[in-house]
Structure 1
Amino acid sequence: MSDDGTNYASHLASGSGSGERDAATPVLILGQPFDRGSLYPLRETLHAHVVHAGLPYGRSVDLVLTVHELATNVVFHGSGTGQARIWQLDGVLRCEVGDPGSSDYDTAAWPVKHGHGLWLARYLPDRFTIASGPDGTLATADFALPGPGSHRSATPRLRRLDSHAVLELDGALDEQAAPQITAAVGELVSGTPAAGLVIDLSAVTYWDSTGITALIVAQQRVAETTAGMLVLTGLAAEFAERLDALSPVPFTTRETPAKAVHLFPLP
């Protein structure tokens, strides 16, 4: 996790003196104060605005959870009131959760436990920073908007080999692909006492927390079989780090399905 205090949206906004706007100039799509009594309306407003801005449903849920957890910490562990802003710039939705009344507050004291809300808020975004200064505390979370054609939901394809099976995914690892992955894994483990499975993620173009949950469930289902093993392949380094942080158990990974073959003995 990177914790720096750079407010990129405000920095860019201060430098845009002309009326013309390019892709790097931020556009404020939501600015809303909050307190203890307005956390629910904040969630509803956030969801409506970020879906309208083009964030897929699954990632919009991730964004709402992130901002809600940050706002909750302002309410219960900070000054009690704050401001949430969403900026759109250069293919990114940037969320800022500010607590102007907590300039002397130690953000390291926020309660962070594995699997709890604030832990997820730190690892669900594509980039997360937090810092305190004279103007208060500011947490910033970036969520990348999908590129053209990148959000077609993956259709799992299961190939059975002599020693194991390979589940190939080509598209978005999202809330639509998740139940198909779970069904394919369930079919495999129900008919194989010693299930060996490779899930190839090399062609995954986008993801959300529902897709990550499907991988965790697959790991659990395969581990329940006799001598079962699940191997993930084709993970980008950043995604592997994110998955390691969010999963309660470590995954076995290899670069390609070919490099995972030796892990599965022939029957």
Structure 2
Amino acid sequence: MSDDATDHAAHVASGSGSGKRNAGTPVLILDHSFDRGSLYPLRETLQAHAVHAGLPHGRSVDLVLTVHELATNAVFHGSGTGQARIWQLDGVLRCEVGDAGSSGHDAAGWPVRHGHGLWLARYLSDRFTIDSGPDGTLATADFALPGPASRRSATPRLRRLESHTVLELDGALDEQAAPEITAAVGELVSGTPAPGLVIDLSAVTYWDSTGITALIVAQQRVSETAAGMLVLTGLAAEFAERLDALSPVPFTTRETPAKAVPLFPPS
């Protein structure tokens, strides 16, 4: 369950050496053992520690879901017990889920299913690794802590053009922005028989799964109309990959709102 890097991090975080901590020093903020009967209490503990460390509520839900799924794999496909740790370092919360089983339990026994376990860990976290060895399996998921400028929730701004409408988002695509996005799209769809909509994400600074869900709902609402079209623009490559993996519906994307204009027939 532990490796040399983890042992070293624990040694540094304990205050050995000079006793001074810099921004790159890992700090252990949670060390929690679990088994089949303690998975629910683990969720509450993870939530409290993630929010206290500065992770926005919506993103902390993603962390809790990820770690809980990894712990569930350790219980049902590993040794039945394990250890969950959270380290804070360099603007990141690093979550470790260890299965202290024998060499007979390894990552190959942890299934990858859409919407569960390793699949969720890969696409909800900012970085994910898993490794097995003689001491068991160690899964690691990183969640970036937002800077002060990234915490402001996006406020949708609508620009109505002749052939379509542009919805601009500037800030965090999070649980606070999500209902405003859904309401704006709902109003557009209800008032237009063939809505043309561009959602410009070029100024989005942060996201959580609730924000992604709002985009999925928007696509579904527009697709329900007779001849509506939704185009997403300004997606970073990494975000586009996550959105493609997490969404059950396909999206049309372009680099900029200007490049989306030819997709809409003139009014």
The TM tier, using the shorter chain, reads over 0.9
Query: What is residue 165 of structure 1 aligned with on the other side?
Result: 165
CA distance, structure 1, for counterparts of residue 161 and residue 207 of structure 2 = 27
CA distance, structure 2, for counterparts of residue 23 and residue 43 of structure 1 = 28
After superposition, the CA RMSD in angstroms is: 1.7
Deviations 1:68-89, CA, capped at 9 Å, x for gaps: 0000011111100000000000
Query: What is residue 211 of structure 1 aligned with on the other side?
Result: 211
Query: What is residue 27 of structure 1 aligned with on the other side?
Result: 27
Give the Å deviation of 1:13. Answer: 4.7
The alignment's TM-score, normalised by the length of structure 1, stands at 0.94
Query: What is residue 133 of structure 1 aligned with on the other side?
Result: 133
The amino acid of 2:248's aligned partner reads: P
Equivalent residue runs for 1:55-134 within 5 Å: 55-134=55-134
Query: What is residue 200 of structure 2 aligned with on the other side?
Result: 200
CA distance, structure 2, for counterparts of residue 108 and residue 251 of structure 1 = 32
Q: Does 1:249 align with 2:246?
A: no
Q: 1:8 to 1:258 in 2, by over 3 A?
A: farther
Query: Any idea what SS the aligned residue of 2:215 has?
Result: helix
CA distance, structure 2, for counterparts of residue 101 and residue 130 of structure 1 = 15
Deviations 1:226-256, CA, capped at 9 Å, x for gaps: 1111111111111111111111122111111
CA distance, structure 2, for counterparts of residue 109 and residue 192 of structure 1 = 51
The amino acid of 2:225's aligned partner reads: T
CA distance, structure 1, for counterparts of residue 197 and residue 7 of structure 2 = 47
CA distance, structure 2, for counterparts of residue 138 and residue 71 of structure 1 = 11
- Farther-moved stretch of structure 1 (24-33 vs 101-110): 101-110
Q: 1:235 to 1:79 in 2, by over 3 A?
A: same
Give the Å deviation of 1:7. Answer: 7.4
The amino acid of 1:26's aligned partner reads: P
Percent of residue pairs identical: 86
Query: What is residue 236 of structure 2 aligned with on the other side?
Result: 236
Q: 1:62 to 1:8 in 2, by over 3 A?
A: farther
Deviations 1:23-64, CA, capped at 9 Å, x for gaps: 111000000100011111111111111111100000000000
Contact 1:13-1:25 within 8 A present in 2 as well? no
CA distance, structure 2, for counterparts of residue 171 and residue 106 of structure 1 = 41
Give the Å deviation of 1:179. Answer: 0.3
CA distance, structure 1, for counterparts of residue 209 and residue 105 of structure 2 = 30
Q: Does 1:156 align with 2:192?
A: no
Give the Å deviation of 1:103. Answer: 2.9
Query: What is residue 223 of structure 1 aligned with on the other side?
Result: 223
CA distance, structure 2, for counterparts of residue 209 and residue 258 of structure 1 = 27
Contact 2:106-2:136 within 8 A present in 1 as well? no
CA distance, structure 2, for counterparts of residue 180 and residue 240 of structure 1 = 22
CA distance, structure 2, for counterparts of residue 129 and residue 201 of structure 1 = 28
Deviations 1:87-122, CA, capped at 9 Å, x for gaps: 000000000000011433242332222233542222
Query: Any idea what SS the aligned residue of 1:72 has?
Result: helix
CA distance, structure 2, for counterparts of residue 257 and residue 158 of structure 1 = 13
Q: Does 1:183 align with 2:183?
A: yes
Residue correspondences, number: 263
Q: Unaligned stretches of 5+ in structure 2?
A: none
